[in-house]
Amino acid sequence: MENILAITEFWFGDDPDDVATARQQGKLWWSKNPDLDLRIRQRFETTLLAAEKNQLPDWENTPQGVMALVLLTDQFPRNMYRKTPRSFAFDTLARRFCRSGLQPDFYAALRPIERTFLHLPLTHSELLPDQEQAVALCAALVEQVAPSQKECFSGYLSFAIRHRDIIARFGRFPHRNHILQRQSTPEELDFLQQPGSSF
């Protein structure tokens, strides 16, 4: 079992500057590396399963605890169980933790880069209202950050808009169809041939 600080430090590192954090941690966040996936599974799977069984209830009482729960249930399964249905199996739970983190006092206590990851369960949702909320939150964050940070956070807003637009068009993420054994429509198959159709 890992604790809250171990999870957040693993993900965000120790640099207090959000743009530097995004630059330094980007390879961890966005790469598709089997060795990294295995390392995350070996280190964090026991804690993820404890969260699934509601064995970490005290974590929901603090902003950093909620942030750790979101990372555990939204980000880590996408590494641990990549290209399997289980990679999405914790998404409903992640959205619950996300909404806990959106309460004003918790949200205000998080750094902008942490808020970006707090929003991701909404960005990963196949429900359009969640997508619209994610875009609105990301847009507000771009307005709130310092001028030197706007370029970085505008990139995250663009990412959210791309996700929202796919859900608005298809009602689901076509790139998940194969993994979830869903039949793709001809329009979805055509879309999947385009660059940038998968995440």
Q: How confident is the prediction along the chain (199 residues), in pLDDT tens digits per residue? A: 899 999 999 999 999 999 999 999 999 999 899 999 999 999 999 999 999 999 999 999 999 999 999 999 999 999 999 999 999 999 999 999 999 999 999 999 999 999 999 999 999 999 999 999 999 999 999 999 999 999 999 999 999 999 999 999 999 999 999 999 999 999 999 999 988 777 7
pLDDT reported for residue 198: 77
pLDDT reported for residue 31: 87
Report d(CA 11, CA 19) in Å as an integer. Answer: 14
pLDDT reported for residue 197: 78
pLDDT reported for residue 51: 96
Do 110 and 71 meet the contact criterion of CB atoms below 8 Å apart?
no
Tokens found for residue 69: 């729960």
Q: How far apart are the first and last CA of the chain?
A: 29
Evaluated on CA atoms 75, 79, 85, 89, the torsion sign reads negative
Do 164 and 156 meet the contact criterion of CB atoms below 8 Å apart?
no
Task: Provide the 10 A C-beta neighbour count for residue 163.
Answer: 22
Tokens found for residue 118: 């707090």
Predicted structure pTM score? 0.95
pLDDT reported for residue 158: 96
Chain-centroid distance of CA 147 in Å reads 24
